[in-house]
Amino acid sequence: MSRSDRLFEVIQILRAAQSPVRAEDLAAQLEVSKRTIYRDIAALQAMRTPVEGEAGIGYVLRKGYDLPPLNFDEEEIEALHVGLAMLMRTGDGALQQAAARVGRKISNVHASAEWLQVAPYGAPQDNPDCGCVPIALLRQAVRSAQKLRLSYVNKEDIQSTRVLRPLALIYHVDCTLMAAWCELRSGFRHFRTDRMMTAELLDAEFSAEAPFLRRLWQEQEGNRFVFGL
């Protein structure tokens, strides 16, 4: 989470709180150290955000402070609610946490749509403690156009190590795929995240070729995947 996003999240937590929130509780929710929270509070106060309190007691946001509202109509709110809930089916832990943060921000300024429910069953959770490759790492590789060294086990249970140029992530109900240009095979390949043994970001980038490769992949795949709305 970037610092600006974290500062926004601190404000949102304090806005929703009914009593002072301790630095250690903020740190636990945002997965940072207490020292980081102290710096964030100081930064907000320097920007004249009306945060009051002190270390050891807790912090409150003075009443009357608000952020610009999000302007969504009723059906847009319902679409966001369903879309965010469906992220629970991807197995992407970092996206799930981000969805929860977005949901809290929306619910602070709009009525909730809890009557719309999405079943959570889907792809297995990408828990690094269980040896899974974090999907967030794969998204980072696609976003930054960084090459990736991947240890992979195919459906025949044969393991290989490849250097990839990751191009896209495709979320299915029961698994997540990464589309990439495989340097070992000199072609486009799709890799299931639940068959990835290890993944390592390399220093080598391919930013110049990424748009061209992605267009070629999209042309090759035709209508198999939704590429954007």
| CATH code 2.60.260 for 128-221 | no
- Burial of residue 154 (CB within 10 Å: 0-12, 13-18, 19+) is exposed
Q: What is the mean pLDDT of the chain?
A: 86
Expressed in angstroms, the distance from the first to the final Cα of the chain is 26
Model confidence over 4-28: pLDDT tens digits?
Answer: 888 888 988 988 888 899 999 999 9
Which residues of the chain form beta strands (DSSP E)? 51-54, 58-61, 146-153, 159-171, 176-182, 187-192, 196-205
pLDDT at residue 128 is higher than 80: no
Confidence of residue 70 (pLDDT cuts 50, 70, 90): low
All CATH 1.10.10.10 domain ranges of the chain, comma separated, are: 3-61
Q: Which of 119, 124, 120 is nearest to 92 (CA)?
A: 124
* Angle (CA) 56 62 65, round 5°: 135
All CATH 2.30.30 domain ranges of the chain, comma separated, are: 128-221
Q: Which residues pair with 169 in a beta bridge?
A: 178
pLDDT at residue 144 is higher than 60: yes
What would the mean pLDDT of 158-174 be, rounded to a whole number? 93
Interatomic CA distance for residues 40 and 7, integer angstroms: 6
Looking at residue 106, what is its pLDDT?
A: 77
Which of 46-60, 130-144, 164-178 has the least mean pLDDT?
Answer: 46-60
- Burial of residue 175 (CB within 10 Å: 0-12, 13-18, 19+) is middle
User: Which of 119 and 38 is assigned the larger pLDDT?
Assistant: 38
Count other C-beta atoms under 10 Å from residue 33's C-beta.
12
Architecture of domain 3-61: Orthogonal Bundle (1.10)
Which of 66-75, 78-87, 188-197, 219-228 has the least mean pLDDT?
Answer: 66-75
pTM (2 decimals)?
0.65
Looking at residue 109, what is its pLDDT?
A: 67
Q: Which of 48, 71, 72, 52 is nearest to 61 (CA)?
A: 52
Q: What percent of the chain has pLDDT over 70?
A: 91
Which residues of 62-208 form beta strands (DSSP E)? 146-153, 159-171, 176-182, 187-192, 196-205
Answer yes or no: are the C-beta atoms of 85 and 53 closer than 8 Å. no
Looking at residue 67, what is its pLDDT?
A: 57
